[in-house]
Amino acid sequence: MRAVLLAAGEGKRLRPFFDRPKPLVPLLGLALIERNILALKECGINEFVVVTGCYSAELRDYLGKGERLGVSIDYLHNPDWKLGNGVSAYTFHQDYRRDEKFVLLMSDHVFEPDLLKAFLAEAENVKQDELLLAADSRLEAVYDLDECTKVKTRNNYAVRLGKGLDDFDAVDCGLFIGTGSLLEALSSSIAGGAYALTDAVNLMAAQGMVKLHFVQNSWIDVDDHQSFKQAEKVLLKSLVPAKDGFISRTFNRRFSLRITRLLAPTAVTPNMVTILSFLTAAAAAVSFALTQPFLGGVLAQLASILDGVDGEISRLKFLRSRFGEILDSILDRYGDYLIVIGMVYSWYCATGHTTALVAGAAALTGMPMSMLFKEKFQNVLGQPFTPEIHDGIMRYFPANRDGRLFIIMLGGILNLLPAALVLLAVGTHLQTFIRLYNVRKSN
């Protein structure tokens, strides 16, 4: 399936804030249109048609033939872009292939990747004379309702659309799966002097041809500076994964998302952050060994926060790599090991107690058990281990990495390294046994 991106408009309201056309405005490290292309690429779409108008040359210069993004991009130009976005959409008839289904979207809308995934999964059910429209019926959650195109719905079909509609129960997200019938409707409505895409959709709605897909994730029509900021918020929020532990969810992400926001526009890669997180953990270990527990504790927590940033940047900028994922989990283990060894060294040098060695061995062996268990669980049960679901009440027990490093931070800043080590030693193994018991019970 090909995707058609409408990028012909002038985008006046955002112009004062950026020195470039709206589709090229950078949002968290990616131009708006670039983000849509990469998000659709993750859904398996590799061929794109960009309809240009006002800033044709700038768009072509920036995106080229798509080599940089690993996709193929063709361009269609609409000299009459001022008439309305229906004329831009209709330009695609020049390139339309008989019986083809295509995705049509506004290049300046921002969608959560999961929204696009769910929408495209419906493509195969769209019939040849239908149009599928992404609609949002969660009206209280829609951003800037006034500016939206409203939709009156009946039984998952659109009855009528319009910006000024009084009686409505959803809004149009600017995302469609179309067939030749949409181009025919556009042709009719343009011939009748109605130049907006909504006019053609209304024609089809009147004949019961506009099926609705109700979205469950966030999207923003980036129109002005305020909606731009809102889009930033929505995207950052979508980066928190379901598998997060309690401390990460309630504490670390407040900081990691801010760091991600700062790093997104730079060339810093997820793997660089992974290595930085590891080096920070190593610095924490050295601090503990040099009897600077407070600094060690703070650095350990910083390593924990940075451990979230690599994943956030990779999801945000579509930079996920298999190597990166594996590197991250291996270096995390080495970071854990070094920190525990630094703590034990500090305790043992200060006291000479064998207890330090025993607790150290127990903590050292306990540190990787959480990951071991989770990875094995996923391979055996075919679903990721999610502490929020699978750990029950134990999810508040800090034995996932976020929790372990939190204990280490507390041990460091309160100068209670022995207590922290004993807690780690007991907690990690205890958690493993409880998880084993839970699997036994439920399988």
Q: Is 323 in the site for its own copies (CB under 8 A)?
A: yes
Q: Which of 441, 442, 434 is nearest to 400 (CA)?
A: 434
Contact 110, 35 (CB under 8 A): yes
Q: Is 319 in the site for its own copies (CB under 8 A)?
A: no
Cα distance between residue 386 and residue 244, in whole Å: 8
Q: Is 432 in the site for its own copies (CB under 8 A)?
A: yes
Of the residues 145, 290, 381, 389, which one makes contact with its own copies according to CB under 8 A: 381
Of the residues 269, 333, 397, 426, which one makes contact with its own copies according to CB under 8 A: 333
Take residue 91 and report the two structure tokens written for it.
């330009």
Q: Is 242 in the site for its own copies (CB under 8 A)?
A: no
Q: Is 145 in the site for its own copies (CB under 8 A)?
A: no
Closer residue to its own copies, CB minimum distance, 117 or 233 = 117
Q: How far is the CB of 70 from its own copies (least distance, A)?
A: 15
Contact 296, 342 (CB under 8 A): yes
Q: Is 378 in the site for its own copies (CB under 8 A)?
A: yes
Q: How far is the CB of 148 from its own copies (least distance, A)?
A: 40
Closer residue to its own copies, CB minimum distance, 54 or 341 = 341
Residue 341 DSSP SS3: helix
Q: Which of 49, 45, 84, 39 is nearest to 319 (CA)?
A: 39
DSSP state for residue 49 in the 8-state scheme: E
Q: How far is the CB of 339 from its own copies (least distance, A)?
A: 12
Q: Which stretch binds its own copies (CB under 8 A): 48-56, 159-167, 194-202, 356-364?
A: 356-364
Q: Which stretch binds its own copies (CB under 8 A): 3-11, 135-143, 275-283, 358-366?
A: 358-366
Amino acid at 197: L
Cα distance between residue 104 and residue 122, in whole Å: 14
- Determine whether 366 is exposed, middle or buried from the number of CB atoms within 10 Å of its CB (0-12, 13-18, 19+): buried
Q: Is 232 in the site for its own copies (CB under 8 A)?
A: no
Contact 154, 207 (CB under 8 A): no
Cα distance between residue 77 and residue 80, in whole Å: 9
Of the residues 372, 389, 414, 415, which one makes contact with its own copies according to CB under 8 A: 372
Closer residue to its own copies, CB minimum distance, 164 or 323 = 323
Q: How far is the CB of 423 from its own copies (least distance, A)?
A: 19
Residue 82 DSSP SS3: helix
Q: Is 368 in the site for its own copies (CB under 8 A)?
A: yes
Cα distance between residue 142 and residue 168, in whole Å: 13
Of the residues 38, 337, 386, 426, which one makes contact with its own copies according to CB under 8 A: 337
> Tokens 């205890």 appear where?
430
- The strand pairing partners of 128, in sequence order, are none
Q: Is 371 in the site for its own copies (CB under 8 A)?
A: yes
The angle that helices 253-263 and 293-316 make with each other, rounded to 10 degrees, is: 60
Q: Is 361 in the site for its own copies (CB under 8 A)?
A: yes
Q: Is 349 in the site for its own copies (CB under 8 A)?
A: no
Q: How far is the CB of 229 from its own copies (least distance, A)?
A: 35
Take residue 273 and report the two structure tokens written for it.
């952050």
How many positions of this chain bind its own copies (CB under 8 A)? 34
Q: Is 426 in the site for its own copies (CB under 8 A)?
A: no
Q: How far is the CB of 278 from its own copies (least distance, A)?
A: 12
Q: How far is the CB of 432 from its own copies (least distance, A)?
A: 6
Cα distance between residue 39 and residue 41, in whole Å: 5
Q: How far is the CB of 78 from its own copies (least distance, A)?
A: 41
User: Would you list the DSSP string of 230-287?
Assistant: HHHHHHHHTTS-TT--HHIIIIIHHHHHHHHHHHTTSS--HHHHHHHHHHHHHHHHHH
Of the residues 126, 275, 286, 341, which one makes contact with its own copies according to CB under 8 A: 341
Where along the sequence are the contacts to its own copies (CB under 8 A)?
Answer: 321-323, 325-327, 329-330, 333-334, 337, 341, 357, 360-361, 364-365, 368-369, 371-373, 375-381, 432, 436, 439-440, 443
